[in-house]
Amino acid sequence: MGTLKKLAGQTAIYGLSSILGRSINFLLIIVYTGYLSKADLGAFTGIYALIGFLNIIFTYGMETAFFRFSTGKNQDPTRVYHNTQSLLVLSSLVLGTGIYLAGPLLAEWMNYPGQAYLFQWTAVLLVFDAVLAIPFAKLRLENKAKTFAGAKLINILLNVTFNLLLLIWIPSWIQTGILPEGILGYQSTWGVEYILLANLLANGLIIPFVWWKAGFFSFRLEKEVLQPMWTYSLPLLFMGLAGVTNELISRLLFEYVLPLNFYPRLSSREAAGIFGANFKLAILMNLVIQAFKYAAEPFFFRESKEKDSPNMYAQVMHVFILFCSLLMILISVNLQWIGPLFLKGEVYKMGFSIVPMLLLGHLLLGIYFNLSIWFKLTDKTSYSFWITFLGAVVSVAGIAFSVPILGFMGAALSTVACYLVMATVCYFFGQKYYPIPYQTRSGLGYLVLTFALSYGGFYVQTQDIALDFLIKNSGALIFLGIVFLRERKFFRSLMDKKS
C-alpha cells in the first residue's frame, strides 16, 4: 500500500498543478472564444495540432528511453542525462532550422499565404519544447514533483499573462489612448499570431529555471550510451507519431474533410474552431491522465524489479478506471453548466453532445497507457509502433468516412474507435509476453455503465433547475453505490497491506 500511496500522492501533486494550471489556462479559451474570430480559432486549432505532431519528432521517444536506461542495472543516471540532453539539443537545432527555412512552403501547403512567419515562430517554439523535455523528465525521475509542478505553473502563468497582454490589454490601452497605435509594431489584425508569440515567450523564459533545477548538462555524445537508447527509442518515435496522429488528426483534418455548408452559416474552418473548442472541454479527463502519466511512468520503471509488480500494475489500472469513470460521469451530466463557463457564445453549444464521447476516448487512452507498460519493460518497443499505427489507420479512416456524414460526432467516434482498437490489441499482446492479472470483465462492465450514465444524464432535461441538477447527478451516485457494493473487498485488501 505504501508504494501505491506514493504514486497517488505524486499523481495528486501533478494533478493539482495541472488542474490549477489548466484552470488558469482555461481563461485563454474564454479569451479566444470571446475576442477572436472563429476563423482565428480554427487557425489556432490547426497550427497547434501540427505542433503536437512535430513535438514527437523533436523528442523521438527519448523521454521513455531516459527512464528505462537511468533505472537499469549498472547505469550511471548522470551520464545518461548528459548524453540524452546533448543529443536532443543538437537534433532540435538541426530540425528547427529545417522547419524555419521551410516556413514559406508550409504556409502555402496549409493555406496561410503570406504568413510564413507563423511557421518560423513554430520552429523556434518546437526547439524550446524539445530542450525542456529531458530536464523535466529528470525532475520526475528524482521524485521532485513539487519542483516540476511549480515550473509548469510558472510557464502557464507566463503564457496566460502574455496572451492577456497581447490580445486584450494592449488593444484596450490603444483604444483608450493610453498607448499610441502601432506601438512596437503592434498589429491590431493579428489573432493566432499573438497566441504563438505568447507561447514562444513563455517557453523561452522558463528554460533557464528548469535547467537550473534539473542540473545543467555538459555536452557529451558517447556512442556506448546513446546507441542502445536509440535502438530502444526509435520504435517509440513511430509510436509517438502514430499516437499523436490519433490524438490530433481529427482537429487537423476536420476542416478539410467536412463538406461545404454542412453546418449552415459556418465555413469549414469556423466549424473546425467550434469542434476544437469543444475538444478542449474534454481536457479535464486529459488532465488526470497527464498527471497520472507524469507520476506513473518513472514509478513503473522503478517498481519493475519488485516481485509483486504485476499485481501492483493491475491494482493501479483498476483504481484508474474507477476514478476516471466517475470523473467522466460528473463532467458529462453537468455540461450544460460547465460548457458555457468556458465557451462564450451560443454557437459552441452545438458541439456539447460530442464531449462525453471524447471523454470516453481520453479514458481509453489512459487505459492504453497502463497496458503499454509491458513492451516498455520487456524492451519489445517495436510492438508499440504497429499498435499505434493500427490506431492511426482506424482514426484516419474514421474521419474520412464519418465526418462527411456525422460532422462533429463522426470525429469524436473516430477518436473512440482508435483508442479502443489500440487498447484491445495491446492487452492481448501484453498478456502473452508480460501477463498482468487485470480485472478485465469488471473494468469493461464499469466502462459500459459509465457510458450509459454519462449520456443518460446529458440528455435528461427538466424545467426545474434544482430537480434537473439532482436527476442528472444521480448517475454519479448510482455509480458510487455500485462501486461501494462491489469493491469493498478490493479496497480493504489494499488498506490491509503493510505500508
pLDDT tens sequence across 343-388 = 777 788 888 999 999 999 989 989 998 998 888 888 888 888 788 8
112 pLDDT higher than 90: no
Q: What percent of the chain has pLDDT over 90?
A: 30
Q: What's the whole-number mean pLDDT along residues 276-284?
A: 79
- Three-state SS for 54-117 is HHHHHHCCHHHHHHHHHCCCCCCHHHHHHHHHHHHHHHHHHHHHHHHHCHHHHHHHCCCCCCHH
Q: Indicate the angle between helix axes 440-459 and 309-333, nearest 10 degrees.
A: 10
Distance CA(273)–CA(55), nearest Å, equals: 22
- Distances in Å between the Cα of 385 and the Cα atoms of 211, 237, 376 are 31, 8, 12
CA nearest 426: which of 357, 362, 369, 361? 369
pLDDT bin (cut points 50, 70, 90) of residue 499 is very low
Structural contact between residues 252 and 49, judged by C-beta atoms closer than 8 angstroms: yes
CA dihedral 180, 182, 183, 187 (to 10 degrees): 130
Strands of 349-499, DSSP E = none
Rounded Cα–Cα distance for residues 448 and 439 (Å):
15
What pLDDT, on the 0 to 100 scale, is given for residue 72? 64
**Residue 151 C-beta-side C-alpha neighbours within 13 Å:** 23
Instruction: Indicate the SS3 state at residue 388.
Output: helix
d(CA 81, CA 214): 10
Grid cell, residue 311, equals 499485481
Highest mean pLDDT among 15-24, 61-70, 337-346: 61-70
53-57, 229-233, 334-338, 394-398: range with highest mean pLDDT:
394-398
Query: pTM score > 0.85 for this model?
Result: no
Q: What is residue 423's predicted lDDT score, i.e. its pLDDT?
A: 94
Please provide the DSSP assignment of 256-270 as one string: HHSPTTSSTT--HHH
CA-based Rg of the chain, rounded to a whole angstrom? Answer: 23
Mean pLDDT of 312-320: 89
Inter-helix orientation angle 223-257/38-59, to 10°: 160
Q: Is the pLDDT of residue 497 over 90?
A: no
Res. 9 pLDDT band, cuts 50 70 90: low
pLDDT reported for residue 380: 85
pLDDT value of position 10: 58
- pLDDT tier at 95, thresholds 50, 70, 90: very high
- Rounded CA gap, 212 and 421, in Å? 42
The rounded Cα 81 to chain-centroid distance in angstroms is 25
From 43-57, 89-103, 126-140, 415-429, the region with the lowest mean pLDDT? 43-57
Per-residue pLDDT, averaged over 247-276, amounts to: 82
Amino acid identity of residue 450, one-letter, is: T
Q: If pLDDT is split at 50, 70 and 90, which confidence band does 2 have?
A: low
pLDDT reported for residue 18: 59
Degrees (nearest 5) of the Cα angle 216, 217, 218?
135
In whole angstroms, how far apart are CA 253 and each of 49, 127, 248, 417? 9, 25, 9, 17
More confident residue, 210 or 244: 210
Averaged pLDDT for residues 86-105:
94
pLDDT of residue 355: 92
Would you say residue 281 has pLDDT above 60?
A: yes
Q: Exposure pattern of 74-113 as b/e (b: 16+ CB <10 Å)?
A: eeeeeebbbbbbbbbeebbeebbeebbeebeebbeebebe
More confident call, 287 vs 437: 437
DSSP state of 180: -
In this prediction, residue 278 carries a pLDDT of 85
**Does the pLDDT at position 90 exceed 70?**
yes
| Grid cell for residue 249 | 488528426
Q: How far is CA 280 from CA 59, 112, 125, 251, 404, in A?
A: 24, 24, 21, 11, 22
**Angle formed by the axes of helices 223-257 and 382-406, nearest 10°:** 10
Residue 498 has pLDDT above 50, yes or no: no
The stretch 333-340 carries a mean pLDDT of 85
Alpha-carbon torsion, ordered 365, 50, 281, 373, to 10 deg: 20
pLDDT bracket for residue 217 (50, 70, 90):
confident
pLDDT band at 200 (very low <50, low <70, confident <90, very high): very high
Close Cβ partners of 361 (under 8 Å, ≥ 6 residues apart): 282, 412, 415, 416, 418, 419
Mean pLDDT of 279-283: 78
Q: What is the dihedral of CA 43, 186, 32, 365, to 10 degrees?
A: 50
Average pLDDT, the chain: 84
